[in-house]
């Protein structure tokens, strides 16, 4: 049978962002895949060198709309380390609360996107409908559904009132009930299992070779979770449960993420019940002392690393962000070959790619 | 007579094609939100299409990056007339917060004729529905 | 792995004493010359596999380029490599550590550093018709 090249993208229905995937296909079997990125490259690292540190928070928030809070958390944390600031405990707790709410909304979003890619539109609608409640909580606290603007260098800009906390707890309780649908889906639903089980396997060796992080790595037996390995913000006093499987297929990734949503619901409840008293920010200098700092946090997709270098002025000399999607994208060249062409959608959508994060 | 019928058909079932030419995803997920149960744009007849050749309205999010320039033009050329372009979000309108970047050409109107600008960073689902309804009134 | 074990492994791979310091944020930083890089990274492997490479940061310092290889080994380790402008060629880690692939391509895009032995240094992020110069190499940019 002849080999043909199937070009997917940059405009395609698989994920909502531009990516170019060239598949070498023989019959219905994928033989090789080449990935092209850069369509969403906005030169942010260059732009950040021409803005003040404070302006940088708004820019960094817009690297990615889905994990915007993770980016600002890592950026602010990095500059706080550089400037040797003591961020108040209440601010750290509110930051952590939004990190976990963002993890819930990101995982539910992903579940809907995967379901839509394999034709299970009902789950797409259900997942995004339940996700709205999480966006409501974030909007009540910050005023924004997607871009929250909560983090500032030195702390947070918005407080969580007692009433907001009560409303949030009620919504999270309701969401916990609704999660049963998704638990049933990933544990028992036969059509979902048939489309995702045994597909797109990544071994533990692949994870180490490509440096894959996040739920994709934890579905293949790796245990790295920065919240546990190098606790930051309020994770220094929260207990973060483990969600690790070994099968390494799309189904395992789905199960890990559904488990993580349930753990995140508990973490949010713990935080809301025990927000420390105190200030929301500490004074941050306009000019940051000379030096460099590296910080790692656990974004919804995995280890997010920020490097900031200061030359003593009010603008950073260098900001570098390594987003967790990049290793997963590199590993697509391993995940796609050998697949039936009909399974490409499940693997690509199931990898939780974020091109905005990857391209910056 | 036929013209009126065609126009009625276009207003009652505007199919949108969504392309992210360089955005952060914020507007993209709010656009997708519009199709989900809480906002439900399908009651206006709006369906998200996968192929440019089936679409009436091109909804563009994000600024136009240098690498996205050619794909965006190709998508627009593939859409049969009559076609409309919506610039969704501050970046698609004017390149927003990314203005001045070496890899950003500008807003969508640097490349394509835009019929509707929807501001916001990201724009809210309510704004998207209202704006699309406004556009349908003009068709 | 702890600090002492890391230092021992790297020193025996490098064949010389290495100075360790701690950066703000907690990473241990060790300076290496480019030709010692590949052996040093290989020395950090365990029975679990190669060391976990988190990122490669690159920036310009004066007329030199600095490459920072960030690893997570149970603690944060950064290997700092200086390459002199004019001869900005560093051995590529990609043949032995696939994780380095796109990070090296990005450093090539942004600063123009060449990685000897990299299988495919094609532009990763920049448009194919980008006229140059590399955006973070410190020269004025074409809009």
Identify the weakest region by mean pLDDT among A239-248, A252-261, A319-328: A239-248
Instruction: Verify whether the Cβ–Cβ distance A38 to B33 is below 8 Å.
Output: no
Q: How confident is the model at residue A101 (pLDDT cuts 50, 70, 90)?
A: very high
Handedness of CA A55, A305, A201, A3 (dihedral sign): positive
- How far C23 CA sits from the closest chain A CA (Å)? 6
Interface of C with A in 98-137 (CB under 8 A): 98-99, 101-103, 110, 123-127, 135-136
Q: How far apart are CA B38 and CA A358, in angstroms?
A: 30
pLDDT in tens, A121-152: 999 999 999 999 999 999 999 988 998 889 99
As given in the structure block, the two tokens for residue B122 are 């990201």
How does pLDDT run across A179-214, given as a tens digit for each residue?
A: 999 999 999 999 999 999 999 899 999 999 999 999
Give the C-alpha separation, A43 to C135, whole Å: 8
User: Distance from A313 to chain B by nearest Cα, in Å?
Assistant: 21
A17 near B CB under 8 A: yes
- Residue A337 and residue A31 in contact, taking contact as beta carbons nearer than 8 Å: yes
In this structure, chain B runs to a length of: 139
d(CA A78, CA A83): 9
Contact A72, A57 (CB under 8 A): yes
Cβ neighbours of residue C42 closer than 8 Å, sequence gap 6 or more:
C13, C50, C96
C97 touches chain A (CB under 8 A): yes
Q: Is the pLDDT of residue A325 over 90?
A: yes
* Radius of gyration from C-alpha coordinates of chain B: 14
Alpha-carbon dihedral of residues A271, A276, A278, A284, nearest 10 degrees?
-60
Chains adjacent to A (≥3 CB pairs closer than 8 angstroms): B, C
Structural contact between residues C104 and C122, judged by C-beta atoms closer than 8 angstroms: no
- B106 sits in which H/E element: strand B104-106
Q: Is residue B115 within 8 angstroms of chain C, CB to CB?
A: no
Contacts of A62 in chain B (CB under 8 A): 24, 26, 96-98, 121
- Please give the share of chain A, as a percent, with pLDDT higher than 90: 76
Instruction: Give C98's contacts in chain A (Cβ within 8 Å).
Output: 209-210, 330
Chain A residues with CB-CB distance to B32 below 8 A: 16, 128
User: CA of C52 to nearest chain A CA: how many angstroms apart?
Assistant: 5
Query: CA B127, CA B12: separation in Å to the nearest integer?
Result: 19
Q: Please, are residues A198 and A249 in contact by the beta-carbon 8 Å criterion?
A: yes
Distance, in Å, from the CA atom of B18 to the CA atom of A116, rounded to the nearest integer, reads 15
Contact B25, A66 (CB under 8 A): yes
Query: Are A62 and B121 a contacting pair at CB < 8 A?
Result: yes
Q: State how far the Cα of A39 lies from the Cα of A62, in Å rounded to an integer.
A: 16
Chain A residues with beta carbon closer than 8 angstroms to that of C54: 211, 296, 303, 305, 322
Total domains in the fold of chain A = 1
- Residue C49, pLDDT score: 86
Q: Which residues of B touch A18 (CB under 8 A)?
A: 19-21, 68, 71
With beta carbons less than 8 A apart as the criterion, state whether A141 and A165 touch. Answer: no
Grouping H, G, I as helix, E, B as strand and the rest as coil, residue A172 is helix
- CB neighbour burial string for A157-183, b if at least 16 within 10 angstroms, e if fewer: bbebeeeebeebeebbeebeeebeebe
Q: Which residue of B has its CA nearest to C136?
A: B102
Alpha carbon distance C108, C100 (integer Å): 12
Please check the confidence at residue A289 and state whether its pLDDT lies above 70: yes
Q: Is A349 exposed, middle or buried (0-12, 13-18, 19+ CB in 10 A)?
A: buried
pLDDT above 90 (res A306): yes
| Distance to chain B for C128, nearest Cα, Å | 8
Phi first, then psi: give them for residue A296, nearest 5 degrees: -125, 135
Q: What is the rounded distance in angstroms from the CA atom of residue A251 to the CA atom of residue A228?
A: 24
Instruction: Note the Cα A336 to chain centre separation in Å.
Output: 22
Q: Which of A99-113, C91-105, C129-143 has the lowest mean pLDDT?
A: C129-143
Gap between the Cα atoms of A109 and A119, Å rounded: 15
Say if A293 is an interface residue toward chain C (CB within 8 Å).
yes
DSSP label of A276: P
Integer Cα distance of A18 and B102 in angstroms:
19
Both tokens of residue A157? 């800009």
Cβ contacts below 8 Å, chain A against chain C, sum to 98
**DSSP category for residue B38:** T
Q: Summarize the confidence of residues B81-87 as an average pLDDT.
A: 90
Q: In this complex, do C127 and B65 lie within 8 Å of one another by their Cβ atoms?
A: yes
Tell me how far apart the alpha carbons of residues A123 and C22 are, in angstroms, rounded to a whole number: 48
In tens, the pLDDT along C60-89 reads: 888 888 999 999 988 899 999 988 765 567
Half-sphere exposure of C127 (CA within 13 A, CB side): 21
| pTM over 0.80, yes/no | yes
Distance from CA of C135 to the nearest CA of B (A): 8
Mean pLDDT over the full length of chain A: 91
Question: Looking at residue A158, which CATH number applies to its domain?
Answer: 1.10.645.10
For range B107-116, the mean pLDDT: 91
- The full DSSP string for C20-45 is EEE-BTS-EEEEE-GGGHHHHHHHT-
What is the C-alpha separation between C115 and C122, in angstroms, rounded?
A: 11
Helix or strand run (H / E) with residue A12: none
- Per mean pLDDT, which range of B71-85, B103-117, B124-138, C17-31 is the poorest? C17-31
Mean pLDDT of A153-178: 92
**Choosing among A34, A41, A49, A355, which should be mutated to test the C contact, i.e. which has the most C CBs within 10 A?**
A41
**The pLDDT of residue C143 is above 70:** no
The chain B residue lying nearest C141, using CA atoms, is B102
Domain that holds residue A316: 40-328
For chain B, percent of residues with pLDDT exceeding 90? 44
Q: What confidence score (pLDDT) does residue A140 get?
A: 92
Q: Which residues of B7-22 are buried (b: 16+ CB within 10 A; e: fewer)?
A: eeebbeebebbbbbbb
Q: Residue B103: its chain C contacts at CB < 8 A?
A: 125-127, 130, 135
What does residue C116 show for φ and ψ, rounded to 5 degrees? -70, 125
What distance lies between CA A294 and its chain's CA centroid? 19
Identify whether A349 is part of a domain: no
**Residue A193, exposed/middle/buried by CB under 10 A (0-12, 13-18, 19+)?**
middle
Structure tokens, A321: 């962000």
Q: Is the pLDDT of residue A284 over 80?
A: yes
Percent of chain A exceeding pLDDT 70 equals 100
Percentage of chain C surpassing pLDDT 70? 94
Give which of B15, B27, B29, B30 to mutate to test A binding, by max A Cβ within 10 Å. B29
- pLDDT for C141 equals 53
Residue spans of the domains in chain C: they are 3-85
Residue range B12-138 in CATH 3.40.50.12280: yes
Q: What is the predicted ipTM?
A: 0.91
Q: Which of A279, A260, A226, A253 is nearest to A93 (CA)?
A: A279
Q: Rounded to an integer, what distance in angstroms lies between the CA atom of residue A213 and that of residue B59?
A: 33
What is the predicted pLDDT for the residue at C47?
84
For C118, other C-beta atoms within 10 Å of its C-beta total 19
User: Mind listing the pLDDT tens digit for each residue in A258-278?
Assistant: 999 999 999 999 999 989 988
Instruction: Kindly report, residue by residue over A54-82, the tens digit of the pLDDT.
Output: 999 999 999 999 999 999 999 999 999 99
Neighbours of A154 (CB within 10 A): 22
Q: Are the Cβ atoms of C70 and A305 closer than 8 angstroms?
A: yes
How many Å apart are CA C9 and CA C35, to the nearest integer?
16
- Beta-carbon contacts of residue C105 (< 8 Å; ≥ 6 apart): C118, C120, C121, C122, C123, C124
Cβ-based contacts of C23 with chain A (< 8 Å): 291-294
Residue of C128, C129, C141 lying closest to B102 (CB–CB): C141
Give rounded-to-5 percent helix, strand, coil for chain C. 25, 30, 45
């Amino acid at each position: 049978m002849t080999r043909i090249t199937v070009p997917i993208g940059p405009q395609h229905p698989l994920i909502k962002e531009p990516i170019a995937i060239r598949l070498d296909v023989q019959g219905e079997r994928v033989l090789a895949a080449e990935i092209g990125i850069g369509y969403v490259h906005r030169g942010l690292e260059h732009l950040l060198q021409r803005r003040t540190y404070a302006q940088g928070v708004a820019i960094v928030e817009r690297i990615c709309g889905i994990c915007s809070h993770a980016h600002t958390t890592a950026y602010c944390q990095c500059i706080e380390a550089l400037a040797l600031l003591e961020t108040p405990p209440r601010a750290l707790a509110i930051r952590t609360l939004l990190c976990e709410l963002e993890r819930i909304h990101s995982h539910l979003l992903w579940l809907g996107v995967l379901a839509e890619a394999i034709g299970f539109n009902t789950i797409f609608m259900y997942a995004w409908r339940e996700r709205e409640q999480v966006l409501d909580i974030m909007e009540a606290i910050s005023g924004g559904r997607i871009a929250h603007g909560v983090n500032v260098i030195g702390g947070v800009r918005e407080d969580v009132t007692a009433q907001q906390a009560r409303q949030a707890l009620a919504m999270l309780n309701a969401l916990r009930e609704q999660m049963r649908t998704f638990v049933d889906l990933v544990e028992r639903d036969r059509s979902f299992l048939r489309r995702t089980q045994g597909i797109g396997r990544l071994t533990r060796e692949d994870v180490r070779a490509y440096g894959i992080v996040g739920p994709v790595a934890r579905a293949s037996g790796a245990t790295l979770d920065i919240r546990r390995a190098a606790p930051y913000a309020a994770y220094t006093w929260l207990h973060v449960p483990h969600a690790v499987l070994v099968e390494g297929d799309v189904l395992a990734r789905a199960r890990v993420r559904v488990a993580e949503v349930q753990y995140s619901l508990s973490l949010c409840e713990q935080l809301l019940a025990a927000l420390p008293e105190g200030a929301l920010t500490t004074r941050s200098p306009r000019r940051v002392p000379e030096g460099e700092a590296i910080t790692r946090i656990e974004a919804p997709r995995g280890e997010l690393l920020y490097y900031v270098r200061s030359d003593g002025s009010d603008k950073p000399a260098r900001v570098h962000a390594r987003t967790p999607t990049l290793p997963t994208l590199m590993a697509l060249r391993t995940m796609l070959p050998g697949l039936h062409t009909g399974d490409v959608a499940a693997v690509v959508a199931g990898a939780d790619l974020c091109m905005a994060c990857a391209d910056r | 007579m036929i013209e009126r019928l065609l126009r009625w058909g276009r207003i009652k079932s505007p199919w949108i094609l969504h392309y992210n030419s360089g955005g952060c995803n914020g507007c993209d997920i709010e656009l997708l939100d519009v199709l989900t149960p809480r906002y439900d744009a399908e009651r206006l007849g709006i369906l998200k299409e996968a192929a440019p050749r089936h679409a009436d309205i091109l909804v563009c999010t994000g600024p136009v990056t240098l690498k996205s320039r050619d794909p965006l033009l190709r998508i627009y050329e593939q859409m049969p007339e009559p076609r409309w372009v919506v610039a969704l979000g501050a970046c698609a309108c004017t390149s927003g917060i990314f203005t001045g970047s070496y890899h950003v050409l500008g807003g969508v109107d640097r490349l394509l004729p835009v019929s509707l600008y929807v501001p916001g960073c990201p724009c809210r689902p309510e704004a998207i529905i209202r704006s699309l309804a406004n556009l349908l009134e003009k068709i | 792995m702890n600090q002492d074990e890391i230092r021992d492994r790297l020193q025996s791979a490098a064949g010389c004493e290495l100075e360790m310091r701690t950066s703000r944020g907690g990473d241990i930083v060790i300076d290496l010359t480019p030709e010692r890089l590949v052996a040093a990274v290989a020395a950090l492997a365990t029975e679990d596999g190669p060391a976990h490479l988190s990122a490669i940061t690159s920036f310009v310092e004066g007329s030199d380029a600095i490459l920072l290889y960030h690893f997570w080994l149970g603690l944060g380790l950064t290997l700092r490599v200086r390459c002199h402008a004019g001869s900005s060629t560093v051995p590529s880690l990609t043949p032995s550590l696939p994780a380095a692939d796109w990070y090296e391509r990005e450093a090539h895009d942004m600063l123009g550093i060449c990685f000897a032995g990299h299988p495919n240094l094609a532009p990763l992020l920049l448009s194919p018709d980008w006229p140059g110069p590399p955006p973070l190499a410190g020269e004025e940019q074409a809009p």
